[in-house]
């Protein structure tokens, strides 16, 4: 069975002490939740705080709270000033990396081809990938969203072996819903998730498709999560704004555990 996950993408937020307080708060709020291997929390802080965040998470909590990076380079090493390589993340004990977030695509020009190389390199370095896809509003208005997401997923993931794909989590994040307060309707999320799962079934097989976690991202918060997380093809969320508050983030995790 696929894992159900709430992942927090802190983006470029929090000063050091705030970061420590946030992860401490998350651990504290989780105290009354029993550990269940089927459910996971992933925290993706700015790269400079990866170690700090790991240090706050106790051994016991590490079976349900994982730490991920927000990006990594497509090469293992070299003259790439300011970049972070996948092996460096592995050395720190980091388990996940987000690849293809729409902010990386739009502000830093990351193309589907580049993301393919990043996915490959991350997997080769034993990182699990949270691969983001999603359409802009103009694409949806022209009814091109299914085709666009298919192209993103096809280019970056379809060349992988089944074993490699089993270490990929997909996050469907419609660009028009990210940080806007406009959330996709549960039906919109479900139909895209079902579409993605169908693509995986056709390219790989039904078992692998059924075992792939597909998260929804875009203005997800406790007030709207229940309806979205209840949909059969939605396996949790990739959370931006609401992951910056311990209570809201853990509340999302609890909602997921109640409905899924």
Positions in the binding site for ligand PGA (CB under 6 A): 9, 173, 178-179, 217-220, 238-242
SS3 label, residue 99: strand
Measured from the CB atom, the residue of 41 and 204 that comes closer to ligand PGA is: 41
Question: How far is residue 99's CA from residue 117's CA, in Å, rounded to a whole number?
Answer: 10
Q: Is 93 exposed, middle or buried (0-12, 13-18, 19+ CB in 10 A)?
A: exposed
In eight-state DSSP terms, residue 44 is: E
Measured from the CB atom, the residue of 162 and 179 that comes closer to ligand PGA is: 179
Cα 139 off chain centre by: 22
The least distance separating ligand PGA from the CB of residue 66, rounded to whole angstroms, comes to 16
Measured from the CB atom, the residue of 8 and 190 that comes closer to ligand PGA is: 8
The least distance separating ligand PGA from the CB of residue 201, rounded to whole angstroms, comes to 26
Residue with token string 């694409």: 139
For residue 150, indicate whether it is catalytic: no
The least distance separating ligand PGA from the CB of residue 241, rounded to whole angstroms, comes to 4
Contacts of 44 (CB under 8 A, 6+ apart): 7, 8, 9, 10, 67, 68, 69, 70, 96, 98, 130
Measured from the CB atom, the residue of 192 and 242 that comes closer to ligand PGA is: 242
Measured from the CB atom, the residue of 200 and 242 that comes closer to ligand PGA is: 242
Instruction: Please provide the distance, in angstroms rounded to a whole number, between the alpha carbons at the two ends of the chain.
Output: 12
Q: DSSP assignment of 3-39, as one string? A: PEEEEEE--S---HHHHHHHHHHHHHHTTTSPP-TTE
Closest residue to ligand PGA in the complex (CB): 240
For residue 110, indicate whether it is catalytic: no
Instruction: Kindly name the residue from 74, 173, 190, 251 that is annotated as catalytic.
Output: 173
The least distance separating ligand PGA from the CB of residue 163, rounded to whole angstroms, comes to 27
The least distance separating ligand PGA from the CB of residue 59, rounded to whole angstroms, comes to 28
Instruction: Kindly name the residue from 96, 101, 145, 193 that is annotated as catalytic.
Output: 101
Strands 65-69 and 96-99: parallel
Residues designated as active site = 101, 173
């Amino acid at each position: 069975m696929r894992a159900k996950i709430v992942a927090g993408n802190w983006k470029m937020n929090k000063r050091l002490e705030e970061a420590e307080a946030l992860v401490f708060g998350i651990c504290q709020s989780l105290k009354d939740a029993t550990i269940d291997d089927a459910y996971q929390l992933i925290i993706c802080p700015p790269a400079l705080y990866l170690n700090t965040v790991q240090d706050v998470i106790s051994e016991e909590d590490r079976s349900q709270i994982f730490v991920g990076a927000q990006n990594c380079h497509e090469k293992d090493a070299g003259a790439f000033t300011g970049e972070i390589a996948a092996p460096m993340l592995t050395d720190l004990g980091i388990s996940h990396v987000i690849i293809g977030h729409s902010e990386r695509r739009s502000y830093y020009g990351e193309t589907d081809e580049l993301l393919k190389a990043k996915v490959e390199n991350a997997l080769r370095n034993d990182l699990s990938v949270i691969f983001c896809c999603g359409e802009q509003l103009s694409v949806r208005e022209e009814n091109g969203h299914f085709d666009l997401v298919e192209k993103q997923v096809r280019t970056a993931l379809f060349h992988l072996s089944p074993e490699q794909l089993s270490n990929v989590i997909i996050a469907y994040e419609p660009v028009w819903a990210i940080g806007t307060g406009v959330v996709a309707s549960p039906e919109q999320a479900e139909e895209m998730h079902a579409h993605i799962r169908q693509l995986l079934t056709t390219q790989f097989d039904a078992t692998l498709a059924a075992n792939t976690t597909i998260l929804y991202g875009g203005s997800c918060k406790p007030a709207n999560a229940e309806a979205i997380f209840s949909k059969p093809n939605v396996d949790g969320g990739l959370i931006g704004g609401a992951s910056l508050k311990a209570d809201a983030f853990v509340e999302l995790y609890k909602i997921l555990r109640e409905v899924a």
